[in-house]
Structure 1
Amino acid sequence: MLGVLTMLCLSGCVRVRAAMAVSPNDLVSGEIVIAAQPTRAGDQGPELEIPDAVKARTSTKAYNVDGYVGNTLSFHDLTFEEVRELSSSINPNSQHFQMSFRRSGDLVTMSGSVDLTGLPTDKADVQIKLAFPGRVTKTDGIDEDGAITWKPKAGEVTEFTATAEYSTKGQSSWTRWVMIVAASAIGVALLVAILAYAARRVSLRQVQ
């Protein structure tokens, strides 16, 4: 994996902007932009593989903004386990990116980590946003009215966590939480798609 990170450093900047919202019945919806700066004409950015079990609740569209090309992946109503499966399908072997959700009584905790130690500070634009339907009781991110933001820095290992209190029996509307985070466009593990794609691009350039 370190070799892939090194190749990414040589291949240009990457952009990952993930946003997720958890509903009162523990279903996760969101959107993530995965993009990189093209290195040749016709470069369309990284391709994503989606598990068959969740394809009906996901969609992708091309992303081309600020010189970055790639995809925007949208998903809705995934269980905590399905979020893990979606992440694992794109990141089957690496431990550089991890994320998990768990419930204990009325407390739901998200925890994860991202290792960007192989990237120079000017090579990554990474942002993660998460919204809960209940009161956030603890987090190491920036909490703005229940919408939590993390901005992992290149060259560092970033650990992130957030805990919220709410019951699955609650009827609180969570649509506004989706609106809060959607503009920033499951799991941080999807970043590996860019790393693998960058490695392939470098290999192609070396062959040419």
Structure 2
Amino acid sequence: MTDVTEPHPIATAHATGGRSSLVRRLTGVTALVTMLFVLSGCLQLNAQMSVRKDDTVSGRILIAADQPAQAAALERLGTPSGLEQKVRITPYSADGFTGREIYFTQLTFAEMDTLSLAVDIEGARPYSMSFRRSGDTVSFSGSVDLSGLPADRAESATTRVDLTFPNRISETNGTIGTGNSVSWTPAPGSITRMQASSSYPDPAARGFAVWMIVGIGAALLVSIGTVLAARTSRARSDRLSR
């Protein structure tokens, strides 16, 4: 007789838990999950982003490293599927650093999530960024993980994130600059969490309001036309009856 070995309940639980954990991780990325970026060398990470009144984001992200392993991983970065018309990735090499420059134009907030997911270095993501709208308020949140980079390498690590909103910044943990801009300078040996918010009209609501006005205007024109046509017809009938 052949013995049938039942799956060990603990192993099954671990497998189920592993799948649940994976789902949570994948779901959480859009809500900004910080990933560990282990570096044996130095890093350049700079981002400049500008939010427009139509809730789209344009800008540039530079990410480069001075170690061959990380540089080779960066060379494999590709444009996310479906964003070929809005995202351009070019090689970068300067001062011993090799990496990629990512240029993007008028990405929706959902497309920004997709782009953030695309920057993967050996299974880790050095940063995460996300935009969300709630009513008239647009919120930015993100993180830059430099916990794998020794704190004593601050002089050799260049990291900065700049963000501009179409209206004044109402709340942030960054440094407010000129106009409607804010910036963060992440430090090696730590995880820097970023948040900022600004309020301006929802373009979807504005578009609906415009169509409402157009619709009301069209209805008024039809009504006026109907009244004028009726008066003209009545006046013509009166002349004929005389």
Same fold (TM over 0.5): yes
Structure 1, 115-124 or 150-159: larger mean CA deviation: 115-124
Against the structure 1 CA distance between its residues 117 and 76, is the aligned structure 2 distance closer, same or farther, given a 3 Å change threshold? same
Please give the alpha-carbon distance, in whole angstroms, between the structure 2 residues aligned to 1:39 and 1:95.
17
Q: Structure 1: any 5+ residue segments left out of the alignment?
A: 171-208
Q: Structure 2: any 5+ residue segments left out of the alignment?
A: 1-34, 207-242
2:62 partner amino acid? V
Larger Rg: 2
Residue in structure 1 matched with residue 52 of structure 2 by the alignment: 23
In the TM superposition, residue 106 of structure 1 has moved relative to its aligned partner by: 1.2
Residue in structure 1 matched with residue 150 of structure 2 by the alignment: 120
SS in 2 for 1:83: helix
In the TM superposition, residue 166 of structure 1 has moved relative to its aligned partner by: 1.1
Please give the alpha-carbon distance, in whole angstroms, between the structure 2 residues aligned to 1:26 and 1:132.
10
Against the structure 1 CA distance between its residues 85 and 134, is the aligned structure 2 distance closer, same or farther, given a 3 Å change threshold? same
Structure-2-length-normalised TM-score: 0.60
- 1:25-174 map, 5 Å: 25-37=54-66, 39=68, 46-47=74-75, 48-91=77-120, 94=124, 97-121=127-151, 122=153, 124-144=157-177, 145-169=179-203
Against the structure 1 CA distance between its residues 74 and 96, is the aligned structure 2 distance closer, same or farther, given a 3 Å change threshold? closer
Please give the alpha-carbon distance, in whole angstroms, between the structure 2 residues aligned to 1:100 and 1:159.
12
Please give the alpha-carbon distance, in whole angstroms, between the structure 2 residues aligned to 1:82 and 1:89.
11
**Are the aligned partners of 1:38 and 1:45 in contact in 2 as well (CA < 8 Å)?**
no
Structure-1-length-normalised TM-score: 0.69
2:74 partner amino acid? P
Against the structure 1 CA distance between its residues 96 and 52, is the aligned structure 2 distance closer, same or farther, given a 3 Å change threshold? closer
**Are the aligned partners of 1:36 and 1:45 in contact in 2 as well (CA < 8 Å)?**
no
**Are the aligned partners of 2:78 and 2:89 in contact in 1 as well (CA < 8 Å)?**
no
Please give the alpha-carbon distance, in whole angstroms, between the structure 2 residues aligned to 1:137 and 1:120.
34
SS in 1 for 2:74: coil
State the Cα deviation string for residues 97-153 of structure 1 (Å, max 9, x = none).
Answer: 432211111110001222321211315321111110011101111111211110111
**Are the aligned partners of 1:45 and 1:71 in contact in 2 as well (CA < 8 Å)?**
no
SS in 2 for 1:52: coil
State the Cα deviation string for residues 39-98 of structure 1 (Å, max 9, x = none).
Answer: 59xx77822122121111111222222332222110101100000011113349757643
Superposed CA RMSD: 2.6
SS in 2 for 1:20: strand
Please give the alpha-carbon distance, in whole angstroms, between the structure 2 residues aligned to 1:95 and 1:127.
16
SS in 2 for 1:78: strand
2:46 partner amino acid? R
1:102 partner amino acid? R
Could you say which structure has the higher helix fraction?
2
SS in 1 for 2:82: helix
Please give the alpha-carbon distance, in whole angstroms, between the structure 1 residues aligned to 2:78 and 2:50.
22
Against the structure 1 CA distance between its residues 37 and 97, is the aligned structure 2 distance closer, same or farther, given a 3 Å change threshold? closer
2:110 partner amino acid? E
